[in-house]
Amino acid sequence: MTFLHGIAASNGIAIAKAYRLVEPDLSFEKMTIEDAAAEVDRFRNAMKKSKSELGAIRDRAKVDLGADKAAIFEAHLLVLTDPELNGPIEDKIQSEKMNAESALKETADMFIMMFEQMDNDYMKERAADIRDVTKRVLAHLLGVQLVNPSMIAEEVIIVAEDLTPSDTAQLNRQFVKGFTTNIGGRTSHSAIMARSMEIPAVVGTKTATEAINNGDLVVVDGLKGEVHINPTPEQVEQYRKVHEDYEAQKAEWAKLVNEATISADNHHVELAANIGTPKDLKGVIENGGEGVGLYRTEFLYMGRDQLPTEEEQFESYKAVLEGMTGKPVVVRTLDIGGDKELPYLDLPKEMNPFLGFRAIRLCLEEQDIFRTQLRALLRASSYGNLKIMFPMIATLDEFRAAKAILEEEKQKLQTEGQKVADKIELGIMVEIPSTAVLADQFAKEVDFFSIGTNDLIQYTMAADRMNQRVSYLYQPYNPSILRLVKMVIDAAHAEGKWAGMCGEMAGDETAVPILLGLGLDEFSMSATSILRARSLIKNLKKSDMEMLAQKALNMQTTTQVVDAVNSAITRN
Ligand code: PEP
Ligand code: MG
């Protein structure tokens, strides 16, 4: 097969060799061997290779991730050279004439079980180290390669079953030119991150890992949602041309970087950016973001093995507020759960993680975590224009409880003599239909709404945002969604409040004209979508879009809405 079709998750064209991020098969048979001395040699050889590999990984991690993160590989090297582990393995090979794979596995399993049963966290972690090291030695014995994205040192396209947000965060932008996955949707967090990293991506291809071999030349066409395997040189040339045209188009949009976003009939809206870390600010500024409309703070908590301290958080929030030099920054409190896991919190596996114990539900229960974050935010508030919002609010009671905790922490800080900004706007994400329906009541108590359509659509249509088999139901332009969005915007305006949107729909070319017509005040999107959206809005009249929106609200299907938008606007 030369073409795979999937979901266009991040724009652009990437051409490079495939790197399969797929765990190899480490299965083997238990066997009796003839020549024990040769088998011990084979084992020692695998150990030697593992040692030099781990040494290289450690050195690389020190440079890329810092000594802290590299310490884990130091621990692995210690296990590898520990005679208490190696001795019994070699004994087993010699005395029981067992093949090296079985001797390694049986000995390691015994130690793992022993450590796991100890009532001591430090020892339990050693079990994990032994498990990791065993895997590496086993791979060398079997002659297969373990995947190791941190060691990629040439331009590649990552091919994977799925990428978690923390896998994505660790991708080295210098070498990873694009990625394609079997599963995932446009609003899975790996897709969202690919957009902010400007890495072309096609997700939900179903068969990428089957169809693509390591080293195949692969084109990821993130504009069309296609993956081309081993194209001819002529085809590669054509893709290069598409890439150049796209770059030229981007250069045109870039001319709008310092302009305000004003429609053809003089209506101003704010185009803000969604960020995951302070590092993303560079992209916000380069792309002319008028603010940060969503700072997903959960990424501060990921890719590490313990909660970030109040001080660490304070530094990150302060950096973002200062970096935005007085422009609005909407920080969302911790939204963990769904596809964003924190292994160190040790939460039980759930049947329906997107409907489970997540975001504000977890924060109201695990108040230490919540209070630490709120204190860090309040302390940072005097360094810029901070607005705080709570994720996944389903009821007014939840909002009131979260607000009360915020007030308590504010009081405490003020009593301690710490500086806190006088006015911090407090809002909520509208991601749950109950909240959209009751928006008129919420609007009396919140300062603003930010509509989280990524979740609002999945909950309204009952279609998992990660599941490509039901992606046909994931319909941002369905009149049912448009009506909910209208209810929220109207409710905010009736109380003199503002309404923004930070779901991916806010940067969607087909949705933007309707949202302008519905009166949305703030559009928050991947930074890389801002200039295109600005160019689009400058050519639209709000009054025309109001009529278009009115028509769309009374339509029956998504297709009708898309057709109506296409005939109402000219795209560039
Ligand atoms: C949303 O649900 O629209 C949203 C912006 O939040 P997240 O994508 O992080 O769930
Ligand atoms: Mg959400």
Decide: 524 and 192 in contact? Cβ < 8 Å. Answer: no
Decide: 200 and 224 in contact? Cβ < 8 Å. Answer: no
Name the token pair of 201: 């991506």
507 close to ligand 1 (CB < 6 Angstrom)? no
User: Tens digit of pLDDT for each residue in 85-117?
Assistant: 899 999 999 999 999 999 999 999 999 888 888
Q: Known catalytic residue: 363?
A: no
| pLDDT value at residue 530 | 96
Which whole number is the average pLDDT over 63-81? 79
Which whole number is the average pLDDT over 6-32? 92
Q: Which band of pLDDT confidence, cut at 50, 70 and 90, is reported for residue 190? A: confident
Q: Which band of pLDDT confidence, cut at 50, 70 and 90, is reported for residue 185? A: confident
| pLDDT value at residue 148 | 78
Q: Which band of pLDDT confidence, cut at 50, 70 and 90, is reported for residue 207? A: very high
CB atoms within 10 A of CB 382: 15
Which ligand sits nearest to residue 296's alpha carbon? 1
State what percent of residues in the chain have pLDDT above 70: 99
| pLDDT value at residue 1 | 63
Q: Which band of pLDDT confidence, cut at 50, 70 and 90, is reported for residue 537? A: very high
455 close to ligand 1 (CB < 6 Angstrom)? yes
For residue 432, the 8-state DSSP code is S
Which whole number is the average pLDDT over 179-198? 85
How far apart (Å, rounded) are the C-alpha atoms in residues 155 and 300?
A: 27
Name the token pair of 354: 């997107």
Specify whether the backbone of 541 is left (phi greater than 0), alpha (psi in -120 to 50) or beta: beta
pLDDT at 278 over 80: yes
Residue 301's nearest CA partner among 292, 293, 313, 311 is: 313
Name the token pair of 80: 């590898």
How far apart (Å, rounded) are the C-alpha atoms in residues 470 and 354?
A: 15
For domain 2-21+151-248, the CATH architecture is 3-Layer(bba) Sandwich (3.50)
CB atoms within 10 A of CB 512: 28
Residue 30 Cα, ligand 2 centroid: separation in angstroms?
Answer: 48
How far apart (Å, rounded) are the C-alpha atoms in residues 305 and 124?
A: 14
Half-sphere exposure of 528 (CA within 13 A, CB side): 18
Q: Which amino acid is at 554?
A: N
**Ion ligand 2 residues within 5 Å by Cβ:** 431, 452, 455
Of the listed ranges 58-62, 247-251, 442-446, 530-534, the least confidently predicted one is 58-62
State what percent of residues in the chain have pLDDT above 90: 75
| pLDDT value at residue 166 | 67
Q: In b/e form, how buried is each residue of 194-224, taking b as 16+ CB within 10 angstroms?
A: bbbbbbbbbbbbeebbebbeeeebbbbbbbe
How far apart (Å, rounded) are the C-alpha atoms in residues 337 and 501?
A: 21
Return the residue matching tokens 């703070």. 297
CATH classification code of 255-571: 3.20.20.60
Decide: 51 and 80 in contact? Cβ < 8 Å. Answer: yes
Q: Domain map of the chain by residue range?
A: 2-21+151-248, 36-142, 255-571
409 close to ligand 1 (CB < 6 Angstrom)? no
How far apart (Å, rounded) are the C-alpha atoms in residues 46 and 388?
A: 53
pLDDT at 149 over 80: no
Triad 82, 86, 90: Cα angle to 5°: 165
Beta strands in 292-416 (DSSP E): 292-296, 328-332, 385-390
Return the residue matching tokens 């079990």. 127
How far apart (Å, rounded) are the C-alpha atoms in residues 551 and 67?
A: 59
Q: Could you give the C-alpha distances from 509 to 317, 357, 410, 570, in angstroms and in order?
A: 31, 34, 41, 11
| pLDDT value at residue 134 | 92
Q: In what order do the strands lie in the sheet with 217-221?
A: 3-5, 226-229, 217-221, 13-20, 156-160, 176-181, 201-203, 7-10
Decide: 352 and 390 in contact? Cβ < 8 Å. Answer: no
Decide: 360 and 398 in contact? Cβ < 8 Å. Answer: yes
Residue 319's nearest CA partner among 345, 344, 300, 341 is: 300
Q: Is 21 helix (H, G, I), strand (E, B) or coil?
A: coil
| pLDDT value at residue 57 | 81
* φ, ψ of residue 184 in degrees (nearest 5): 115, 160
Residue 18 Cα, ligand 1 centroid: separation in angstroms?
Answer: 30
pLDDT at 571 over 70: no
State which ligand 1 atom lies nearest to the alpha carbon of 431.
Answer: 2
pLDDT at 483 over 60: yes
pLDDT at 118 over 90: no
Q: Confirm whether 2-21+151-248 and 255-571 share one CATH topology.
A: no
Answer with the residue of higher pLDDT: 415 or 167.
Answer: 415
How far apart (Å, rounded) are the C-alpha atoms in residues 21 and 162?
A: 9
Length of the chain: 572
CB atoms within 10 A of CB 283: 18
How far apart (Å, rounded) are the C-alpha atoms in residues 378 and 409?
A: 8
- Ligand 1, pocket-test mutation among 187, 341, 459, 466, most atoms within 8 A of CB: 187
pLDDT at 572 over 60: no
CB atoms within 10 A of CB 371: 17
How far apart (Å, rounded) are the C-alpha atoms in residues 21 and 209?
A: 9
Which residues lie across from 261 on neighbouring strands?
A: 269
Decide: 446 and 402 in contact? Cβ < 8 Å. Answer: no
Q: Could you give the C-alpha distances from 324 to 32, 273, 504, in angstroms and in order?
A: 67, 11, 22
Considering the chain, what is the average pLDDT of its residues? 92
76, 140, 189, 243: the active-site residue:
189
Which residues lie across from 330 on neighbouring strands?
A: 387
> Checking DSSP bridges between strand 201-203 and strand 7-10, what pairing results, if any?
antiparallel
185 close to ligand 1 (CB < 6 Angstrom)? no
CATH classification code of 36-142: 1.10.274.10
Q: Which band of pLDDT confidence, cut at 50, 70 and 90, is reported for residue 65? A: low
Answer with the residue of higher pLDDT: 176 or 68.
Answer: 176
Q: In b/e form, how buried is each residue of 457-472, taking b as 16+ CB within 10 angstroms?
A: bbbbbebbbbbbeebe
| pLDDT value at residue 58 | 83
293 close to ligand 1 (CB < 6 Angstrom)? no
Name the token pair of 133: 């090291």
Cβ neighbours for 230, distance < 8 A, ≥ 6 positions apart: 2, 216, 217, 218
276 close to ligand 1 (CB < 6 Angstrom)? no
Of the listed ranges 39-48, 81-90, 530-539, the least confidently predicted one is 81-90
